Amino acid sequence: MEKSKIEGGREMNEVEMIYVSSSNVESVGYDEVNQIAHVRFLNGTLYIYKGVPKNEFDGLLNAPSIGSYLHRNFKNVYPYERIE
């Protein structure tokens, strides 16, 4: 499992990244304290989605299509930021 730690002056918890089977997403992780979902795409970019409830992250993790779930339930719903 990869670990993701956001740098650059921000205090973030180190997050365990879970590799997933997806045509677009490499791995996902969740910072429960700050309610931040981490999503690393196969092209190497890492995004964080802020204010994501745990049950929503669990839905992503268990979705039959992670990319479709991410697009439907995360994009334009939660504020996000490209980190890498």
- Give per-residue pLDDT as tens, 39-75: 999 999 999 999 999 999 999 999 999 999 999 999 9
Q: How confident is residue 14, by pLDDT bands cut at 50, 70 and 90?
A: confident
What separation in angstroms does the CA of 15 have from each of 22, 23, 27, 38, 76? Answer: 20, 22, 11, 8, 23
Residue 82 · residue 40 · CB < 8 Å: no
Number of domains in the chain: 1
According to DSSP, residue 77 is labeled: T
List the domain range (segments joined by +) for residue 16. 2-82
Residue 61 · residue 28 · CB < 8 Å: yes
Beta-carbon-side half-sphere exposure of residue 83 (alpha carbons within 13 Å) = 21
Structure pTM?
0.85
Q: Using the predicted structure, report yes or no on whether residue 80 has a pLDDT greater than 80.
A: yes
Tokens standing for residue 7: 């740098």
